[in-house]
Structure 1
Amino acid sequence: MAEYITVLVFFLVILVFVLGTLFLARLLRAQKYESMKKDTYECGEEPAQAGLERFHVGYYLVALVFVIFDVEVIFLFPWAVHSKSLGLWAFLEVVLFIGILFLGWVYAYRKGNLEWK
């Protein structure tokens, strides 16, 4: 338990730093916003249209699936670099990991998240 005291102290210092920074930012920010500060800035020109546009939800779903599988590739990269020295057990773990990813892909496909509507 004594070896975790350092980690706990480190975590508490980080927590105090983050919460203190957020509190200080809220304390020092402008209290009242003018309407001009809320306008969209287009290189000094008058805005041609509203600043927020609605996007089709298909963009969100495709981006979400891409990010999920991209992060999974990041997890596979260290294994690919050291695959020769890790042995059979690590290979079976990666096969299980890829199998779970494949099940996630099948689920997304069956839900229609990969089809453009």
Structure 2
Amino acid sequence: MGSPLFITVLFTGMFLVCAGLGIALLVSPKSFNAQKGEAYECGIPTHGTSWMQFKVGYYLYAILYLMFDVEAVFLFPWATVVRDLGTAGLISVLVFLLFLGLGLAYAWKKGALEWK
């Protein structure tokens, strides 16, 4: 099934997670009031329900931002070892940037980046 070391590590991890959650429940301050259950919007009391519809364009814009942001994070490890990679590393990151640029051009052409 598993080695004794694996089982020990597994149970130690489970114990540490449970211990951390238990200590947090015991030590954390507790306050029960109706205001904690309300939606919070920049310190301004909300009017109406918090389950309101919004344009799907805002969601699409946010997803595109996150997608390109996460893909840009992949450039940081490359930048730390750029001298060790040589020409092959440069070509691979140029292909990566080409695909990023094509994705951005496609989103731009489809009008996903327009704020209407």
Equivalent of 2:38, from 41, 66, 70?
41
- Identify the residue that residue 102 of structure 1 maps to in structure 2: 101
TM-score in terms of structure 2 length: 0.60
Indicate the residue corresponding to 2:84 in structure 1. 85
CA RMSD of aligned residues (A): 2.9
Matches within 5 A, 1:4-83: 41-42=38-39, 48-83=47-82
Conservation of the 8 A alpha-carbon contact between 2:39 and 2:50: no
Is 1:111–2:110 an aligned residue pair? yes
Following TM superposition, by how much is the alpha carbon of 1:110 offset from its aligned partner in structure 2, in angstroms? 0.7
The AA in structure 2 aligned to 1:106 is: A
Helix, strand or coil at the partner of 1:49: coil
Residue of structure 2 in register with 1:29 after alignment: none
Uncovered stretches (5+) of structure 2, i.e. residues with no partner: 15-36
Instruction: Verify the 8 A CA contact 2:39 2:46 in the aligned structure 1.
Output: yes
| Cα contact 2:82–2:90 (8 A) shared by 1 | yes
The C-alpha deviation readout for 1:5-35, integer Å capped at 9, x for no partner, is x9xx9xxx9xxx9xxxxxxxxxxxxxxxxxx
SS at match of 1:113: coil
Amino acid at match of 1:59: Y
Structure 1 counterpart of 2:94, which letter?
V
The one-character-per-residue Cα deviations of 1:70-107 (angstroms, maximum 9, x if unpaired) are 11011111001111111110110000000001000010
TM-score, scaled to structure 1: 0.59
